[in-house]
Amino acid sequence: EKYHIRRYGFHGTSHRYVSKRVCEFLGVSPIGKKIIICHLGNGSSMSAVVDGKCVDTSMGLTPLEGVVMGTRSGSCDPAVVQFIANNDHMTVNEVLTMMNKQSGLLAISGISNDARDIRTRASEGDERCLLAFDMFAYKAMQQAGSMIASMAGVDTITFTAGIGENDWSIRKAFCDCFEWLGVRIDNNKNREAVGNGPQVISAAGSAVTVMVIPTDEEYMIAHDVERLTKNN
Ligand code: AMP
């Protein structure tokens, strides 16, 4: 209350567009549906949507909270800030700049924040690049796991943004973590769902529908502008 701190979430335009498209594409009502959106790009965030409304997000007051990102660490023990500041004689602002701009995939891989560069080196066996993807998928899985618990279930998991739309290996690594929940992806569909529009990539009989939906924030903004100008 004192500081008016609140969770802003971020990437809301993308999450709103994609969660809407999930139901349109499947031809179902959002009412009664529990959806997780994985917006995985240079900035990554996840949202939990129930009855068409966002009930949980991975980013907080700032975009630093949540999963591992291109240059952001994502969540970690807040005392890390004090530890690094004391050890390296840095200010809090300097440590937070490091956690926002020099961490995440960039720091773990040691080469780049660009998933394509890391994928190339990982396929050559570079251990730090392999670790970067393992950590990326693991933290996303942890976040989704907590959202599944808070929603008491999940009907649909949807991937979007640069990595979510294009990197089938990350999608597979993430989904394999949820085999215990009955999540099954169709490996062929998953590999083929790269830059070719909305797709269902789960296998027949999967307990959860898994999808890839390209985000379209520009469309959502234009749609909102039209709605607001018509109402006024
Ligand atoms: P975004 O922030 O949504 O633009 O996503 C940027 C991230 O998506 C970068 O890490 C890119 O390397 C990654 N990305 C874009 N295209 C591809 C691709 N074809 N395969 C793997 N990653 C990709």
Give residue-wise pLDDT tens across range 104-128. Answer: 999 999 999 999 999 999 999 999 9
Atom of ligand 1 nearest to the CA of 39: 3
CB-based contacts of 30, cutoff 8 Å, min separation 6? 19, 20, 23, 49, 51, 52
Reading phi first (left if > 0) and then psi (alpha if -120 to 50, else beta), residue 26 is in alpha
Nearest-angstrom CA–CA distance, 7 and 210? 27
CB-based contacts of 162, cutoff 8 Å, min separation 6? 40, 41, 42, 115
pLDDT in tens, 174-183: 999 999 999 9
pTM for the structure as a whole = 0.96
Atom of ligand 1 nearest to the CA of 119: 21
Region 49-65: what's the mean pLDDT?
Answer: 97
Nearest-angstrom CA–CA distance, 164 and 161? 5
Region 33-45: what's the mean pLDDT?
Answer: 98
Q: Helices 127-151 and 115-123 meet at what angle, rounded to 10? A: 120
Please tell me if the CB atom of residue 132 comes closer than 6 angstroms to any atom of ligand 1. no
Region 135-157: what's the mean pLDDT?
Answer: 98
Residue 218 scores a pLDDT above 80: yes
Atom of ligand 1 nearest to the CA of 118: 12
Distance of CA 115 to CAs 104, 122, 129, Å?
11, 10, 9
Please tell me if the CB atom of residue 109 comes closer than 6 angstroms to any atom of ligand 1. no
pLDDT at 195: 87
Please tell me if the CB atom of residue 70 comes closer than 6 angstroms to any atom of ligand 1. yes
